[in-house]
């Protein structure tokens, strides 16, 4: 009898191990990112040229200060000391002004240890993921206690840890592919913050479909492209930019009601006129483009790929449609090698330099 029960226990144990291995092909993880908002001088056209047309940049608009501005951007560090930046690989250089890509699989937990090195309060607010009030990163009258508001306004030099869950509803729906894209951005003073620069992408991959780094198994190359009208007259550095002769060498003065359309820069990943480093891919690769946009006065965009087609929402096209704060997936299997134009099809945006290139290698 004793022997039998031992055998039964052994069988049960083996059975449960086998069951566990079968039921949990990928283990839920906690993915921790160390992200600071750092002050930089950002150059929208570092070559000083229009690289699409191979000519000098167009003359500055009357109220445009220049091509470089004080901005705050999210950057990834190796650990909580925030001493060493995590290097960005050359093939990711095109990400430009975007913060680090946060990857997660359904079932995971994302922890963002955020340090604010900017001179005014900022936050990290995530779209799509599950957060409690203490990790929302957006101050407004929501009736919660002061303790729950610490993450809603992180002062200069302070650190705050945000914790976001990644439930099923943060991942792909039945009509999606194996991953979806969200954004995270500062929401302390939302309009000012987004025009100031701290914004980045989040990819959530379906359960069981993620590689170890969280990216989808059935995709060979992920590309991120954020179409943004940066309205520098709404930036939180507006006064700092006006009064800095390095930024404002012509001593442009705000006159009358310096309206929100006076100093706009039209960008993809923070670059104008083809200055975005050219991302590359190969013929036949499964390339997933994640398209984002921001929220100025007219952030409606029509990204158009020359040379290759994509599938958006199950339909074939070579032109996507983005409204403000859009988060859209476009899948491409390039078959046409070459260096191709990738630009916004809204005329005033195209004329303003919202154009880049991508390269398909044979
Ligand atoms: Cu556009």
Q: What is residue 7's predicted lDDT score, i.e. its pLDDT?
A: 53
Residue 92 in domain: yes
Q: How far is the CA of 347 from the centre of ligand 1 (A)?
A: 8
pLDDT in the model for residue 99: 98
In percent, the amount of the chain with pLDDT more than 90 equals 83
In which band, very low, low, confident or very high, does the pLDDT at 23 lie, cut at 50, 70 and 90? very low
CA of 199 to the centre of ligand 1 (A): 18
Q: Residues 69-98: what's their mean pLDDT?
A: 98
Q: What is the whole-number distance in angstroms between the Cα of residue 74 and the centre of ligand 1?
A: 23
Distance 230 CA to ligand 1 centre (A): 11
**Residue 17, in any domain of the structure:** no
pLDDT of amino acid 253: 87
Please check whether residue 24 lies inside any domain of the structure. Answer: no
- Compute the mean pLDDT over every residue in the chain, rounded to the nearest whole number: 92
> pLDDT, tens digit, for every residue of 160-171?
999 999 999 999
| Interval 322-351 mean pLDDT | 96
Q: Is residue 16 part of a domain?
A: no
The number of residues making up the chain comes to 362
**pLDDT of residue 16 exceeding 60:** no
Nearest to 151 by CA among 127, 169, 126, 119: 126
Q: What is the pLDDT of residue 27?
A: 81
Return the SS3 of 238: helix
Weakest mean pLDDT among 29-38, 71-80, 133-142, 271-280: 133-142
Angle of CA points 199, 205, 211, to nearest 5°: 105
Count of structural domains, the chain: 1
> What's the pLDDT score for residue 183?
98
> Is residue 77's pLDDT more than 50?
yes
The pLDDT of residue 100 is 98
Cα(108) to centroid(ligand 1), Å: 34
Expressed in angstroms and rounded, the spacing between residue 267 Cα and the centre of ligand 1 is 8
d(CA 278, ligand 1 centre) in Å: 19
Cα–Cα distance between 294 and 288 in angstroms, integer?
Answer: 20
Hunting for tokens 């995971």 — which residue is that?
A: 108
Mean predicted confidence (pLDDT) in 174-193:
95
Confidence band, pLDDT 50/70/90 cuts, at residue 22: very low
CB atoms within 10 A of CB 85: 13
Domain residues for the domain of 45 are 30-361
Average pLDDT (37-41) is 98
Residue 100 makes CB contacts below 8 A (sequence gap 6+) with 33, 35, 74, 75, 76, 86, 200
pLDDT band at residue 296 using 50, 70 and 90 as cut-offs: confident
6 in a structural domain: no
Q: Tell me the helices (H) and strands (E) count for the chain, helix number first.
A: 4, 20
**Higher-pLDDT residue of 3, 49:** 49
**CA distance linking residue 139 with residue 321, whole number of Å:** 31
- Give a yes or no: residue 46 inside a domain: yes
In a domain? residue 19: no
Percent of the residues in the chain that have a pLDDT greater than 70, as a whole number: 91
CATH code of the domain containing 44: 2.60.40.420
Q: How many Å lie between the centroid of ligand 1 and the Cα of residue 350?
A: 7
- What the block records as the tokens of 357 is 């290139």
Q: How many of the other CB atoms lie within 10 Å of CB of 27?
A: 8
| Cα–Cα distance, 70 to 237 (Å, whole number) | 6
Find the 299 Cα to ligand 1 centroid distance in Å: 6
pLDDT digits (tens, 9 = 90+) for 223-249: 999 999 999 999 999 999 999 999 999
Position 22 in a domain: no
Residue from 340, 354, 341 nearest 298 by CA? 354
Q: How far is the CA of 354 from the centre of ligand 1 (A)?
A: 7
Closest CA to 326 of 345, 305, 307, 303: 303
CA of 292 to the centre of ligand 1 (A): 11
């Amino acid at each position: 009898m004793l022997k039998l029960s031992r055998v039964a226990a052994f069988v049960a144990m083996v059975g449960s191990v086998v069951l566990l291995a079968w039921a949990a092909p990928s283990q839920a993880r906690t993915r921790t990112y160390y992200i600071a908002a750092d002050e930089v001088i950002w150059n929208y056209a570092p070559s000083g040229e229009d690289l699409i047309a191979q000519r000098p940049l167009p003359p500055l608009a009357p109220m445009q200060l220049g091509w470089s501005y004080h901005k705050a951007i999210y950057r990834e560090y190796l650990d909580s000391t925030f001493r060493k930046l995590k290097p960005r690989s050359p093939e990711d250089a095109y990400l430009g002004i975007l913060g680090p890509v946060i990857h997660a699989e359904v079932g995971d937990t994302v922890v963002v240890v955020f340090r604010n090195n900017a001179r005014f309060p900022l936050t990290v607010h995530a779209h799509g993921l599950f957060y409690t009030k203490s990790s929302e990163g957006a101050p407004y009258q929501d009736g919660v206690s002061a303790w729950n508001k610490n993450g809603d306004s992180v002062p200069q030099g302070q650190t705050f840890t945000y914790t976001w869950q990644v439930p099923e509803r943060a991942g792909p729906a039945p009509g999606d592919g194996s991953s979806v894209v969200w954004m995270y951005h500062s929401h302390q003073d939302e309009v000012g913050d987004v025009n100031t620069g701290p914004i980045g992408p989040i990819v959530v991959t379906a359960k069981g479909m993620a590689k170890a780094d969280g990216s989808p198994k059935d995709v060979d190359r992920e590309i991120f492209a954020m179409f943004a009208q940066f309205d520098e007259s709404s930036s939180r550095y507006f006064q700092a930019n006006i009064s800095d002769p390095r930024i404002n060498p012509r001593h442009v003065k705000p006159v009358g009601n310096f309206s929100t359309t006076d100093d706009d820069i039209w960008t993809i990943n923070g670059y104008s006129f083809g200055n975005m480093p050219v991302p590359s891919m190969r013929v036949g690769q499964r390339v997933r483009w994640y398209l984002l946009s921001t929220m100025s006065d007219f952030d409606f965009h029509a990204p158009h790929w020359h040379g290759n087609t994509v599938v958006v929402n199950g339909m074939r096209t070579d032109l996507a449609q983005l409204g403000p704060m859009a988060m859209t997936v476009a899948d491409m299997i390039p078959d046409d090698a070459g260096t191709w134009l990738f630009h916004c099809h809204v005329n005033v945006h195209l004329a303003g330099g919202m154009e880049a290139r991508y390269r398909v290698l044979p």
